[in-house]
Structure 1
Amino acid sequence: MLRRMAAPPSPGIPAIALPHAAGVRMPRLGLGTWPMAGAECRRAVESALRLGYRHFDTAAMYGNEAEIGAAIAGSGVPRAEVFLATKVWHDRLTPDGVRASCEASLRRLRLGHADLFLVHWPNPAMDLAAVLGALRRLKEDRLARATGVCNFPPGLLRRALEIAPDAVSCLQVEYHVHLSQDRLLEIARPRGIPLTAYAPLAQGAAERDPAMRRIAQRHGATPSQVALGWLLGQALVAAIPKAASAAHQRANLAALDLRLDAADLAAIAALPKGRRMVDPGFAPDWDA
């Protein structure tokens, strides 16, 4: 039976050490904040902080950095306990654009540095080496403790790691029970690079799936908790589900206690793995 968690202290959330970022550890369960905005976003972050969340994910494009910054500033939680990730949009991928985006994000967040600064989406016109060099300089200038990339397909990730392996401490992509990321994990894991799963609940599809419902019933859990437990049970995988309410935030924390057995894993492995929920027109060729 799944233990019901109340408000665990932050040490109760396991963390992953980021490579090329001495001493930086990323909690494996965080709060995704897209598409929350305004007062809803601030309330959600305040609630999550009270419950013990310490990993928060945002981006310049989300338009909610100011609210997240205000929530953190008013929480009384020491800055050293908070892991904040933000991102530069794909139209700013020049050395000057990357730095200006980071500096603007930090002003909105009221922070002196980001714990993780990411390229949000690749741009086919970008100079990859120059972008990675800009990420390196953010670390050198202590504007970011670690840097990384989002939404890079396998070929582009390999290129980035060949050019500047120390600029890629984390990879963030869509990953859930209906979408395989085995090719990316085969690249990242041997290098100690964690994969952060966004849309980890498949935008509600996991909750509705009959096989997930059967597994959940056996564990006294919800299908969403099973989906999170499946991700969090994997080596070097973190997850950042969006949860606006305290009830959903508590439920997601409880997934940390879920232990799936071989039959559960086989049933999840049998699910179709090609269902992508986030695929905008500017997305890369995912098979490249």
Structure 2
Amino acid sequence: MRQLPPVGLGTMGLDGPTGVTAIKTAIELGYRHLDTAQIYDNEEVVGAAVEQSPTARNELTIATKVWADSLPPEQVFNTTTESAAKLGVETIDLLYVHRPIDTYDPETTLPAFEQLVDEGLVSNVGLSNFTIEEIETAHNVLSSPISAHQTELHPLFYQPALIDHAREHNYTVVGYSPLAGGAVFELPTLVEIAEKHESTPAAVSIAWLTEKENVVVIPKATSKTHLRANIEAKSLELDPEDVAAIESIEAERELFAE
């Protein structure tokens, strides 16, 4: 899989004409990684934005996820075919198992994903919201490499063991909710670091994560101002003491627990 850019676009909640406009604006600003999911019910919105954008399809990485109630092989095939049609693409660049729950069975679900790769409907297989143990099990079942693991990642829910595992096994961590649902704006540590760099807590959080060699993030935004600020945040250079301060925050808040 091509290297994912440091900052992509999370699209959960981007619906209707407003969603299409936001995604088109993101592409215009340079976003090249678009992330959606079957459960978001907005794959058609993403597809419409891609179709209306002058950016070539081969410059974009489009990712979606199969929800937990559709992970038996036949449903994997059917729902992924439907996703491709809604997205308006011949090939989905990255297809995730959204959560390893409900109908998920590594011995049957993962071979179905690989068959989609063999058939050309999918280019790369990813996992989402897995533990290290669950990733190891998937690794043992899959005959091809895991391309990415998507997980909640922000200053209030930092998972260094998962990042280390990804580095050791050569796959990308895709961090969602990097702004902790807006909570970063109220974290004294991030506010102080932002003031020091004449920046914002959002930019600090994004820069902190994207400085890590195998981590990318997919914040959601709708306004042009916020979309531009998020993608430009990767250029902010934090000092070692800034990183240490962020990683010493003890409060923990997982926004999307199972």
**1:57-98 alpha-carbon deviations (Å, 9 max, x no partner):** 001111111111111111111110011000100000111111
The Cα shift of 1:151 comes to 0.5
Alignment of 1:5-154 (within 5 A): 18=1, 24-154=2-132
Please, which runs of 5 or more residues in structure 2 have no aligned partner?
none
Q: Does structure 1 residue 239 correspond to structure 2 residue 256?
A: no
Q: Is the CA contact (8 Å cut-off) linking 1:136 and 1:167 kept in structure 2?
A: no
AA aligned to 1:79 is R
Cα distance change, pair 165–28 in 1 and its aligned pair in 2 (3 A): farther
Q: Does structure 1 residue 206 correspond to structure 2 residue 215?
A: no
Instruction: Quote the Cα distance in structure 1 between the aligned partners of 2:69 and 2:201.
Output: 37
Pick aligned residue for 1:173 from 131, 151, 160: 151
AA aligned to 1:139 is V
CA RMSD across the alignment? 1.2
Q: Is the CA contact (8 Å cut-off) linking 1:55 and 1:84 kept in structure 2?
A: yes
> Which residue number corresponds to residue 138 of structure 2?
160
Instruction: Quote the Cα distance in structure 1 between the aligned partners of 2:54 and 2:102.
Output: 42
The Cα shift of 1:216 comes to 0.3
Instruction: Quote the Cα distance in structure 1 between the aligned partners of 2:23 and 2:104.
Output: 33
Q: How many residue pairs end up in the alignment? A: 258
Pick aligned residue for 1:221 from 195, 199, 218: 199
Instruction: Quote the Cα distance in structure 2 between the aligned partners of 1:216 and 1:112.
Output: 43
The Cα shift of 1:124 comes to 4.9
AA aligned to 1:193 is Y
Instruction: Quote the Cα distance in structure 2 between the aligned partners of 1:189 and 1:73.
Output: 35
> Which residue number corresponds to residue 268 of structure 1?
246
Q: Give me the TM-score of the superposition, normalised by structure 2.
A: 0.96
**1:142-195 alpha-carbon deviations (Å, 9 max, x no partner):** 111111110011211111112215252110000111112122223221111100
Instruction: Quote the Cα distance in structure 2 between the aligned partners of 1:91 and 1:254.
Output: 37
Q: Is the CA contact (8 Å cut-off) linking 1:135 and 1:167 kept in structure 2?
A: no
AA aligned to 2:6 is R
Please, which runs of 5 or more residues in structure 1 have no aligned partner?
1-17, 19-23, 284-288
> Percent identity, aligned pairs only?
36
> Which residue number corresponds to residue 167 of structure 2?
189
> Which residue number corresponds to residue 14 of structure 1?
none
Instruction: Quote the Cα distance in structure 2 between the aligned partners of 1:256 and 1:239.
Output: 10
Equivalent position SS for 1:173: strand
**1:248-284 alpha-carbon deviations (Å, 9 max, x no partner):** 00100121111111110121111126321111xxx2x
